[in-house]
Amino acid sequence: MTGKGLARGLGFATAAAMALTQSSVGFVRDEGYYFTAAQGYEAWLRLLLHAPLQAIAETERYWSYNFEHPGLTKLLFAASHLVFTTWLGILPDALAWRLPAFAFAGLLSYWLCLLGLSRSRACGVLAPLLFWCAERTFFHGHLACFDIPICAMWAGVGVAWLRRSGPRLALTYGVALAVKHNAWFLPPVLLVHALLLPREQRAFALRRLPWLLLSPLVLFAAWPLLWHHPLRHLGAWISFHTRHVHYAWWYFGQVLRAPPFPIEYPVVVDALALPLPLVILLGAAGISLLLHFARLRPDPQRLLELGLAGAALLPFLLRTTPIFGGIKHWLAFVALLTPEAASLLVRAAPSARALVVAAVLTLLPGLWQIAHVHPYGTSAYGELAGDIPGAATLGMQRQYWSNDVTGVLPWLNAHCPQGARVYFHEVNVESYQTYVRMGMLRADIHYAPGPEQADYAALQWHREFRDREPQTWNAFGTRRPATGLYLDEVPQIVVYARPGLPGAPEGGR
């Protein structure tokens, strides 16, 4: 098999693995919004097919929802749903919306494999495996969100910069730009990389940079919102992210609410959330790339990997950038270190057999984490944190995005009487509607705005929402939960039922 064939195989295997394991993954809060956006954009696509001029004239009507993110991924979610669900009727809604995200996950494996293959065939196989063999990364690969897509494009732009023609570079960066605003940081990385190259390579690299000026055309084409009043919408997009709200985040027993955040925050969270062998390898890879950078004539690819990994992390070292979302906002930092991590693993092994043993032992803790914790990826912690119970004792963010609620939906379906009202806490209306639409929640179970209006409450354990539990006790007149989702004893979702209702515990205080 050729190197590219291997990369393609790993890419397809990744996408297939995501598709096969997605059904249990809850709909995170942001997916709820993107599903809603995709439904609006699908309506626009249908209008485009029947009345193109009207569709072009009415872009703002359909595309103003979720204006804060570019259109490409949501357009792909919509197109996938239009084809596979609306027209062909062969995929359930959520799988159709998520399908493009699996493609991006596959692309990430493809590009990581290519970066690894430049070192050795074993590195080509190991680089994507190192990235995906952790519950946090594996979980994010399933979501119809932007974190894995932008991570993939981060690697893709790197590969295009190293190997592709100017037009391909422009197209790849354009796609990155049309996926998420993180892409704003890529041109400076490429410029610095070009300037640090040896003289003979520098001129060639600098001559390719202007191709990036064409990339905004992709952004414009894939985001119909910009087709009318583009400056206003671009301004709103940029303004949203430069003035982004700070969500409360629990970190070593203190809730971080506003800047300045600890400078070491992203690195420490990576170290605690990922499996320990991976953390060690990534740390060694970072040091190795830095040492390589100190050489007189650094290898262009390693230099670029260092730049891309560093650029993915840098905004979160500034102490003012919002830090919510676990490790998802700097996944590219992890990804771009994996080729070098794979290389270190290969170089450390004295023989092929020893490499297999070392690789298996390096990957197994991550595979155990996936087998043990999936689909509750936002709750996962590694061995350095003492796994989930250790992280709870350390006072680390318990979970986010509300998707863990899937752990109690079967109980609610089994116990709620007809027409019961459930307070779903952090689960937004959009995600609730998707659970109903997908048959994961009975359609007669209603969404209650608070415990006072509810018969049942499914509380997500968040440090900053601790007031909801006593509020529920006061409303329900009981302090005994009916059931819950506890991972290694640690509460994630706690369900209360009003006394006397099905499933409510008898007695108790």
Rounded Cα distance between 279 and 299, Å, is 24
Q: What is the DSSP string of 345-387?
A: HHHH-SSHHHHHHHHHHHHHHHHHHHHHHTT-GGG---GGGTH
The residue (of 222 and 412) whose beta carbon lies closer to other proteins is 412
**Smallest separation, CB 473 to other proteins (Å):** 5
CB 333, CB 313: distance < 8 Å: yes
The residue (of 419 and 505) whose beta carbon lies closer to other proteins is 505
Rounded Cα distance between 366 and 14, Å, is 16
CB neighbour class for 416 (10 Å; exposed up to 12, middle 13-18, buried from 19) = buried
Q: Could you list the residues that contact other proteins (CB under 8 A)?
A: 248, 253-255, 257-258, 275-277, 280-281, 284, 344-345, 347-350, 354, 357-358, 360-362, 364-365, 368-369, 372, 382-383, 385-387, 389-390, 392-394, 463-464, 466-467, 469-471, 473-474, 479-481, 483-484, 486, 488-491, 494, 505, 507-509
> How far from 75 is each of 100, 228, 337, 364, 489, CA to CA, in Å?
10, 17, 30, 37, 41
**Smallest separation, CB 345 to other proteins (Å):** 7
Ramachandran angles phi, psi of 502, nearest 5°: -55, 135
The residue (of 189 and 267) whose beta carbon lies closer to other proteins is 267
The residue (of 317 and 475) whose beta carbon lies closer to other proteins is 475
Tokens 């583009």 belong to residue: 230
**Smallest separation, CB 237 to other proteins (Å):** 29
Rounded Cα distance between 440 and 449, Å, is 20
The residue (of 232 and 466) whose beta carbon lies closer to other proteins is 466
Which H or E element spans position 485?
Answer: strand 483-487
| Secondary structure letter of residue 416 according to DSSP | P
**Smallest separation, CB 495 to other proteins (Å):** 10
The residue (of 186 and 363) whose beta carbon lies closer to other proteins is 363
The residue (of 153 and 279) whose beta carbon lies closer to other proteins is 279
> How far from 34 is each of 67, 72, 144, 178, 234, CA to CA, in Å?
11, 12, 7, 15, 19
**Smallest separation, CB 424 to other proteins (Å):** 19
The CA dihedral of 317, 319, 322, 323, to the nearest 10 degrees, is 60
The residue (of 143 and 289) whose beta carbon lies closer to other proteins is 289
Tokens 């949203």 belong to residue: 240
The residue (of 190 and 497) whose beta carbon lies closer to other proteins is 497
**Smallest separation, CB 54 to other proteins (Å):** 47
Rounded Cα distance between 188 and 310, Å, is 12
**Smallest separation, CB 296 to other proteins (Å):** 22
Rounded Cα distance between 422 and 445, Å, is 7
**Smallest separation, CB 374 to other proteins (Å):** 14
Rounded Cα distance between 428 and 229, Å, is 31
Rounded Cα distance between 441 and 161, Å, is 47
**Smallest separation, CB 425 to other proteins (Å):** 14
The residue (of 60 and 488) whose beta carbon lies closer to other proteins is 488
**Smallest separation, CB 497 to other proteins (Å):** 12
